[in-house]
Structure 1
Amino acid sequence: MRALTQKDQPNKGGYLVIKKPWPSMLRTIWGDNERYIETYWEKFDNKYYVAGDSANMDQDDFFWIMGRIDDVLNVSGHRLGTMEVESALVAHPDIAEAAVVGMPHEVKGEGIFAFVVTKGERPLGAMKNEVTETLRSWVSDQVGPIAKPDEIRFADNLPKTRSGKIMRRLLRSIAKGEEITQDVSTLEDESIIKQLQQNE
């Protein structure tokens, strides 16, 4: 397995792919082999099986699953994968983690809401505004102006289960300004939710 990135360097987001076949792997889609090849193989010239998740490889060569690559936002009629924006954010040297979800937007239909964890202290006050603008420009340069996050919130961590999975449904609720009614008993640190809601 590997996380394919441009230079395959640690701390870069990429597609989680599997290099070698295994006994119980999916071999086709019944009645639609072309779709099977297009979905799982064509992305990297039929050399790697695309698992459908994005991943991040850390300095110790461990993989961190970041989420589904098919999470797509419709921003002003443009289809954008959340992974594209997340990968751009974590490629910034000061960013440790990022998660992106959609939010309602009066003009665009759907806006981009990013939750970010920095490598140093969480930026506050004027520093927060400065880092926000830096990241918006960074994403614009990396992906394109349409991908600039409309809102960026910083936290000490992202809301994760004890097994390390990011709870995106909670992030979607926060982005929409909804009350959290979901079960949060599996959260590793419930205080992160309040931190993200209050946008300190």
Structure 2
Amino acid sequence: GEPIDPPAWKWYYEVVGAKKASIVDTWWQTETGGHMISPLPGATPIKPGCATFPLPGIMAEVIEQDGTPTPVGEKGFLCITKPWPSMIRTIWGDPERFKKSYFGDCKKDGKPVYFSGDGAMIDEDGYITITGRTDDVINVSGHRIGTAEIESAIKKIDSIAVSAVVGKPHDIKGEGIFAYIVLKDPDADQEEMKININQTLKSEIGAIALCDEIVFVPDVPKTRSGKIMRRILRSIAKGEAITQDTSTLEDPSIVPTIEGIVRG
């Protein structure tokens, strides 16, 4: 599903877990065959929105494309630099695509390493925080901003249930920021909420992160595992026809509903 942001983490820890239960915030992929980064319940000190450390035997690193370690507190590429038992072996009938997709982006010591497609940061204590897909980046006037960073800031507003952000072509800035918002109270004042959202973004990130368009929707397209399908939202924002398979969505009917709201 989606990375858990610090406000949701804190609520879950304080309200559901009564500040006693460990939150096991893990990172893994279908391709990894199992969990790769995870706290050990009751043993690993936990931090809000943080997957903590690689499990024993897993060489997960945050690096630049040339293999140099990404500085503390900066975003880099989450790579697995050594083989592990449950790793993906190939793509059926297309080994070259397998190499290009998973081993074509990053190297260490001159050799290709497994690139997850996710960005991450390491803090001064060595804790790893997942920042989202590296292709979920919006280039606003030459500034690269991760959609996860924008969404996390927006969700600090208590009255917002869900936020999903995508890029949309902009004549001046290259890309503009298009936000889909699900409110806890559908009858809330939308114009006031738009002002609140951009004020929050300016305070948390800076003026570069202000949304160019904000639409309020009853829900966003999600898979049954809870992953937001941003490709569909990106197509709608751009006014493109929906070519993606919507049969796997939790509620396929939400797609034409959102199209109607955006396109009037």
User: Scaled by the length of structure 1, what TM-score is found?
Assistant: 0.75
Q: Which has the bigger relative contact order, CA under 8 A and spacing at least 6?
A: 1
Tell me the equivalent position of 2:68: 34
Matched-pair contact (CA < 8 Å) for 1:72–1:82: yes
Give, in whole Å, the separation in 1 of the partners of 2:8 and 2:187.
28
- Rate the CA distance shift 1:92–1:161 in 2: closer, same or farther, 3 A: same
Query: Is 1:179 equivalent to 2:180 in the alignment?
Result: no
Tell me the equivalent position of 1:98: 163
Tell me the equivalent position of 2:222: 160
Deviates more, 1:75-84 or 1:33-42: 33-42
SS class of match (2:68): helix
Matched-pair contact (CA < 8 Å) for 2:141–2:174: yes
Matched-pair contact (CA < 8 Å) for 1:122–1:154: no
Alpha-carbon deviation of 1:129?
A: 2.6
SS class of match (1:113): strand
Deviations 1:148-178 (A, max 9, x none): 1111111121100111111111011011111
| 1:66-145 superposed matches below 5 A | 67-68=132-133, 71-121=136-186, 123=188, 127-145=189-207
Alpha-carbon deviation of 1:194?
A: 1.9
- Rate the CA distance shift 1:26–1:100 in 2: closer, same or farther, 3 A: same
SS class of match (1:80): strand
Query: Is 1:49 equivalent to 2:114 in the alignment?
Result: no
- Rate the CA distance shift 1:155–1:27 in 2: closer, same or farther, 3 A: closer
Alpha-carbon deviation of 1:4?
A: 7.1
- Rate the CA distance shift 1:137–1:18 in 2: closer, same or farther, 3 A: closer
Alpha-carbon deviation of 1:15?
A: 7.9
Deviations 1:16-59 (A, max 9, x none): 53334413422568xx6633786458631142133x34xxxxxx
SS class of match (1:9): helix
SS class of match (1:23): coil
Deviations 1:75-98 (A, max 9, x none): 012121111210111001111111
Deviates more, 1:103-112 or 1:139-148: 139-148
One-letter code aligned to 1:120: D
Matched-pair contact (CA < 8 Å) for 2:136–2:147: yes
Structure 2 residue ranges without an equivalent (≥5)? 13-46, 79-119
SS class of match (2:239): coil
SS class of match (2:69): helix
Query: Is 1:17 equivalent to 2:96 in the alignment?
Result: no
Give, in whole Å, the separation in 2 of the partners of 1:177 and 1:146.
24
User: Scaled by the length of structure 2, what TM-score is found?
Assistant: 0.58
Matched-pair contact (CA < 8 Å) for 1:103–1:110: yes
One-letter code aligned to 1:105: H
SS class of match (2:11): coil
Task: Name the % identity.
Answer: 43
Matched-pair contact (CA < 8 Å) for 2:246–2:252: yes
Tell me the equivalent position of 2:28: none
Q: How many residue pairs align between the two structures?
A: 179
- Rate the CA distance shift 1:44–1:198 in 2: closer, same or farther, 3 A: same
